[in-house]
Copies of this chain bind each other. A is one copy, B any other.
Amino acid sequence: MIEIRVKTSKRVEALNISELVEKATGGKQGSLLHVYTPHTTCGLTINEDADPNVMRDILDALERAVPANYPYRHSEGNSDAHIKATLTGSSVTVPCLQGKPAFGTWQGIFLMEFDGPRERKVIITLI
């Protein structure tokens, strides 16, 4: 179990953490990589890491479905972030070959910040 910390710089942001994750697990043996975030207003997803417009489209679509500005019950002004965190999920798992995640050509792991900017923890487990 390896814990890393990342800093986000906006309220809403898709931060590519693929290299950090690969560095943290490099050389270790295992057949499945588990990446987890212990927060409730950010999520994790795997998607295209080539054209940054893909992640912008994803964040924009989430905002259209779950607008930040809406009369939610929870009074901390970040209900949309909680909802988006549940829609993306708090973990991703990737099969590994000799400690290296078997990402597809276009895949990367993104921390989906929905209530930043903040420092966020990411917990990595190799099984």
CA separation between A121 and B91, bound complex, in Å?
A: 21
Please tell me how many copies of the chain the complex holds: 3
Q: Closest residue of chain B to A14, judged by CB?
A: B86
Q: How many residues of A contact B (CB 8 A)?
A: 53
Contact of A74 among B51, B74, B95 (CB under 8 A): B51
Q: How far is the CB of A50 from chain B (nearest CB, A)?
A: 9
Q: Closest residue of chain B to A46, judged by CB?
A: B90
* Known pairs A32-B125, A54-B74; A93 contacts B94 (CB<8 A): no
**Do B104 and A32 touch across chains, with their CB atoms under 8 A apart?**
no
Convert A66-101 into 0s and 1s, putting 1 for each residue whose CB lies closer than 8 angstroms to a CB of B.
100000111110010011011111111111010000
Which 9 pairs from chain A and chain B are nearest by CB? A38-B104, A53-B73, A53-B74, A57-B79, A40-B48, A61-B83, A95-B125, A57-B72, A45-B86
